[in-house]
Copies of this chain bind each other. A is one copy, B any other.
Amino acid sequence: MMQKLSILWIACCCSILISAQNAKKNALVFTDAAALKLMGQAFPLKSYHRIDTGLHRNFSAGIKNLLTHSAGLTISFKTNSPRIAAKWCVGSDKPSGNNMAAIASKGLDLYIKKEGKWQFAGVGRPKGVCNEFELVKDMEPGEKECLLYLPLYDAIKSLSIGVEEGYNLSSGSDPFAARRVVIYGSSITQGASASRPGMAYPARLSRAMGIQFINLGLSGSGKMEKEVADMVASIDAEAFIMDCFANPSPEQIAARTAYMVKAIRAKHPQAPIIMIQSVVRERGNFDLVSRAYVKSQNDNALKVYQSLLKEGVSNLHLIPGDQLLGGDHEGTTDGTHPNDIGFDRMLQVIQPALIPILK
């Protein structure tokens, strides 16, 4: 009996493999991703920008450009195709930052639901401005729910998803839509130096907690300017995370933080507001000036937090920065930006801190 079952099982596996290999021969049919569900935007837009900067003429040119980057944006779709491909054009032929893999800054990252969990399936490797890449192939039959994470450090000018002829492709739902939390921050929030788009920490938090964490990381520019604070405060969300104490000077932190907290509180009387102190810079292991500077930033964030509590600002929280990267000093790519170990450790601190706040 067991032997018969084994033979049946092997035959079954072989037939899946053979059908998967044969399926490879079918042509790909591409569909503009505009027809599919776009997730992760603070306000719904037709473009792959994070914010419609046309509505914010007083934002600096640098911030406007960063808001065209597709960090945190994700396409949700369903298909029964054994193979999934993508064609995409990014905004620039500028090389990736030397602290990031091109897959993270200009590439794509596909997850598929398996036994109720989102599981890594494949990447889109960028070669130039316009690219075509097979994300995954030779899958077993059956409809799958897919999430495609878009580039962290470039804009998407066009995107289409390819599936094999004879198979269906349809829009998916946003699995995290029921709950929305904004994270406003720096390059670290935007995703430097995750190894691929789905490894940026807001994306990891979304998969871990089932909440849509909206990525408003602005590389080098998360400085709480009044006009940006007002825009963030205008977003419809249940909570606001301020991971924005790495870019502003200690003086800017002292001068600007209270305005931003109060702008959010004015629009959202009950929403939790969570300040996250800056990660310790590992380049400060030996650089005393860098170490002292980050300490001043974090000291000032703490002072403003304590003063706001005294003023009676409610539901305001602070996550300390000193343990965010763990204790072995191996959690960064360049002394500032977390590598995937660093982001993993940030999750281990931030997620347990958020659970009681977002209960």
A residues whose Cβ falls under 8 Å from a Cβ of B: 13, 16-17, 20-21, 95-103, 107, 112, 114, 119-123, 125-127, 136-140, 144, 193, 195-196, 199, 204, 282-283, 285-290, 292, 329-330, 332-335, 339-342, 344
Contacts and interface: CB of A to CB of B under 8 A. Distances in A.
A336 to B, nearest CB: 10
Contact of A99 (B101, B120, B139): B101
B288 A114 contact: no
Q: Which 5 residue pairs are nearest across A and B when measured between Cβ atoms?
A: A195-B339, A98-B102, A195-B333, A138-B289, A339-B340
Given A119-B329, A122-B287, 10 more contacts: A16-B288, A96-B102, A101-B333, A120-B335, A121-B335, A123-B335, A125-B334, A139-B286, A195-B340, A196-B333
Given A17-B289, A136-B283, A334 B123 contact: yes
Contacts of A290: 138
Contacts of A340: 195, 330, 339-342
State the copy count for this chain: 2
A142 to B, nearest CB: 11
Given A98-B127, A333-B196, A17 B138 contact: no
B101 A100 contact: yes
B125 A98 contact: yes
Nearest to A285: B119
A103 B114 contact: no
B193 A101 contact: yes
Contacts of A199: 330, 339
Q: Which of A100, A290, A341 has the most CB of B within 10 A?
A: A341
A120 B344 contact: no
Contact of A137 (B119, B123, B289): B289
Contact of A282 (B103, B120, B332): B120
26 contacts: A17-B292, A20-B288, A95-B95, A95-B102, A98-B103, A101-B193, A101-B333, A103-B333, A112-B286, A119-B285, A119-B286, A120-B282, A121-B283, A121-B286, A121-B335, A122-B286, A137-B287, A137-B289, A138-B289, A139-B288, A144-B286, A193-B195, A196-B339, A339-B339, A340-B340, A341-B341
A339 B286 CA distance: 26
Q: Which of A119, A204, A339 has the most CB of B within 10 A?
A: A339
Contacts of A144: 286
Contacts of A98: 101-103, 107, 125-127
A342 B195 CA distance: 11
Contacts of A103: 98-99, 333-334
Nearest to A24: B289
Nearest to A282: B120
A282 B282 CA distance: 30
Contact of A138 (B21, B96, B288, B335): B288
Contacts of A122: 283, 286-287, 335
Q: Which of A112, A199, A333, A342 has the most CB of B within 10 A?
A: A333
Contacts of A17: 288-289, 292
A71 B300 CA distance: 42
Contacts of A126: 98
A148 B334 CA distance: 14
A51 to B, nearest CB: 27
Contacts of A341: 340-341, 344
Given A98-B102, A101-B193, A121 B334 contact: no
